[in-house]
């Protein structure tokens, strides 16, 4: 899609248009910092670009909607993510509900585990499962710590969530982003990935923020329910067997406990991104719940907003929680945290001992002057146990409703 066909108000936040890609790649290839990073991941990037880019972009006269961006993803990003899957996981898979419409663009609203890979894995899975396109990705500007990162994510079909703004500026930015999301779904026919809350849930207690739903309802037409329906929200659960950043999250919990004013640095964000990408993750499962369009149709359109948004958030949460894939370590953590053996049928003694050793190895990585090991272990256990507790509650609630 040519940039002239996209409303000007989206210029600073949207992914690059097809006709902008050659210039952006030229700028990246002149960025020494980008080249140093790229050399480790794609050693022959310059040669690949020289051969592939003219064919991928089709020149400035190309009119195909998002075709060049998708081609760039498949040519450069898809093999890179496949390599990460091969080297850093025991495999990833996607489960879809019966009758899920692959041709209908959806807003996939998910829990959030990894800064970079949640959306990257989803894009690969959509390609492998017969979807016509990948996802446009909502990414916070706090992560775009270098100019080349901002360019790279916009090449990879990301749109920017602006966060460091005043209250008045934040309102305008939220309205613009909401309008862009509606435009991407209805006009560009693109899927969207967005996390259910700002930032990762460090303790894996995944909850959808009302503010996110309020932002989504700023764009579109009609009632709040109609506006949400126009985004075709599909809750999705992401289940990582191991979180490579678990020890970094535990470390941050102690830092905030010991110093309430503690804030992560840009370097900390970069370390989290690198650790998340290249750390071992075990098995990974993505499971979509049914699109909530039909569920929204049953809601009373006269429901006050103060009640409506929490109702929708709770429904999304329950769909995500019911869709978790739980691993032996999750059950071990749940029993250890409660001092019980409620879930002992879901793991063997060998798995219990292996997970205990795993926790000890993670605590050993935490480089604090005075690490509080009991506290750190409790934080790690909580991260792995909360999905068990939330799924338990969601299944009980669902059984009561049916």
pLDDT tens for 137-167 read 999 998 888 899 999 999 999 999 988 788 8
What are the residues whose beta carbons fall under 8 Å from the beta carbon of 366, sequence distance 6 or more?
Answer: 247, 250, 251, 254, 376
pTM exceeds 0.85 for this model: yes
Q: Is 16 helix (H, G, I), strand (E, B) or coil?
A: coil
What is the C-alpha separation between 194 and 172, in angstroms, rounded?
A: 19
Residue with token string 């909607």: 65
DSSP 94: E
For residues 2-17, give the mean pLDDT: 82
* DSSP output for 213-274: HHHHTTSSSSSHHHHHHTT-EEEEEEEESS-TTHHHHHHHHHHHHH-TT----HHHHHHHHH
Whether residue 10 has pLDDT greater than 60: yes
pLDDT at 22: 86
The set of residues, in sequence order, having a beta carbon less than 8 Å from that of 149 and lying 6+ positions away, is 143
Q: Taking 50 as the threshold, does the pLDDT of residue 64 lie above it?
A: no
- Where does residue 101 fall: left (phi above 0), alpha (psi -120 to 50 degrees), or beta otherwise? beta
pLDDT score for 153 = 94
| For range 360-389, the mean pLDDT | 98
Examine the pLDDT at 89 and tell me if it is beyond 60.
yes
**Of residues 372 and 200, more confidently modeled:** 372
pLDDT of residue 321: 98
pLDDT at residue 8 is higher than 80: yes
In angstroms, the CA 158 to CA 136 distance is 5
Give dist(CA 148, CA 28) in Å, integer: 6
pLDDT in tens, 174-194: 999 999 999 999 999 999 999
Q: Is the pLDDT of residue 1 over 50?
A: no
Domain ranges of the chain: 91-244+279-325, 329-401
Would you state the pLDDT for residue 94? 98
Please count the CA atoms within 13 angstroms of the CA of 64 that sit on its side-chain side.
Answer: 10
**DSSP helix, strand, coil percent of the chain (3-state; round to 5):** 55, 10, 35
CA 265 to each of CA 35, 145, 362: distance values in angstroms, whole numbers, following the listed order: 24, 10, 21
Confidence of residue 382 (pLDDT cuts 50, 70, 90): very high
Convert the pLDDT of each residue in 280-332 to its tens digit: 999 999 999 999 999 999 999 999 999 999 999 999 999 999 999 999 999 99
What is the pairing mode between strands 284-288 and 233-240? Answer: antiparallel
Tell me if 92 sits within 8 A of 106, measured CB to CB. no
Q: Does residue 57 carry a pLDDT above 70?
A: no
Q: Would you mind telling me the total number of residues written for the chain in this entry?
A: 402
In words, the CATH class of domain 91-244+279-325 is alpha beta
Question: Smallest Cα–Cα separation from 385: which of 323, 316, 324?
Answer: 324
Query: How confident is the model over 248-258, as a mean pLDDT?
Result: 97
What phi and psi values does residue 177 have, to the nearest 5 degrees?
Answer: -65, -40
H or E stretch covering 191 = strand 191-195
Q: Which of 76-80, 133-137, 212-216, 251-255 has the lowest mean pLDDT?
A: 76-80
Q: Long-range contact list for 55-60, CB < 8 A, 24+ apart?
A: 56/21, 57/18, 57/19, 57/21, 57/22, 58/18, 59/19, 60/19
Q: What is the pLDDT of residue 261?
A: 95
**Sorting pLDDT into bands at 50, 70 and 90, what band is 82?**
very high
Strands 284-288 and 158-161: unpaired
- C-alpha dihedral (151, 286, 322, 378), degrees to nearest 10: -70
pLDDT band at residue 52 under the 50/70/90 scheme: low
Tokens 């979180």 belong to residue: 243
- Express as a percent the part of the chain with pLDDT over 90: 75
Residues 268-273, mean pLDDT to the nearest whole number: 89
The pLDDT value recorded for residue 364 is 98
* Residue-level pLDDT at 213: 97
> What is the C-alpha to C-alpha distance for residues 400 and 377, in angstroms, rounded to an integer?
35
State the Cα–Cα distance between residues 55 and 13, nearest whole angstrom: 26
Separation CA 333–CA 380 (nearest Å): 8
Average pLDDT over residues 108-135: 95
């Amino acid at each position: 899609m040519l940039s002239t066909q996209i409303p000007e108000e989206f210029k600073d936040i949207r992914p690059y248009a097809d006709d902008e890609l050659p210039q952006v790649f030229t700028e990246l290839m002149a960025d020494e910092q980008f080249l140093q990073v790229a050399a480790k991941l794609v050693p022959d990037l310059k040669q690949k670009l020289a051969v592939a880019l003219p064919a991928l972009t089709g020149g400035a006269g190309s009119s195909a909607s998002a075709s060049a961006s998708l081609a760039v993803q498949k040519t450069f990003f898809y093999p890179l993510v496949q390599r990460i899957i091969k080297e850093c996981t025991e495999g990833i898979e996607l489960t879809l509900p019966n009758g899920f419409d692959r041709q209908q663009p959806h807003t996939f609203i998910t829990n959030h585990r990894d800064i970079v890979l949640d959306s990257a894995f989803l894009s690969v899975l959509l390609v492998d499962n017969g979807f016509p396109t990948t996802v446009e990705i909502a990414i916070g500007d706090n992560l775009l710590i270098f100019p080349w990162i901002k360019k790279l994510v916009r090449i990879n079909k990301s749109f920017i969530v602006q966060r460091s703004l005043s209250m008045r500026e934040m309102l305008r930015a939220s309205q613009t982003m909401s309008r862009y999301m509606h435009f991407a779904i209805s006009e560009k026919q693109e899927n969207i990935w967005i996390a259910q809350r700002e930032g990762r849930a460090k303790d894996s207690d995944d909850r959808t923020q009302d503010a996110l739903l309020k932002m989504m309802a700023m764009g579109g037409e009609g009632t709040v329910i109609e506006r949400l329906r126009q985004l075709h929200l599909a809750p999705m659960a992401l289940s990582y067997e191991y979180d490579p950043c678990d020890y970094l999250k535990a470390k941050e919990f102690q830092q905030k406990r010991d110093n309430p004013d503690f804030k992560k640095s840009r370097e900390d964000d970069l370390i989290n991104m690198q650790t998340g990408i290249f750390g071992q993750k075990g098995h990974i499962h993505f499971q979509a719940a049914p699109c909530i369009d039909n569920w929204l149709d049953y809601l009373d359109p006269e429901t006050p907003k103060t009640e409506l948004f929490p109702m929708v958030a709770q429904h999304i949460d329950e769909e995500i929680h019911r869709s978790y894939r739980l691993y032996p370590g999750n059950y071990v953590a749940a029993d250890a945290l409660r001092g019980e053996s409620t879930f002992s049928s879901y793991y063997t003694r060998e798995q219990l001992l292996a997970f205990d050793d795993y926790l000890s190895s993670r605590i050993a990585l935490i480089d604090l002057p005075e690490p509080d090991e009991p506290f750190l272990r409790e934080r790690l256990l909580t991260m792995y146990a909360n999905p068990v507790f939330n799924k338990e509650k969601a299944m009980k609630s669902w059984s009561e409703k049916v």
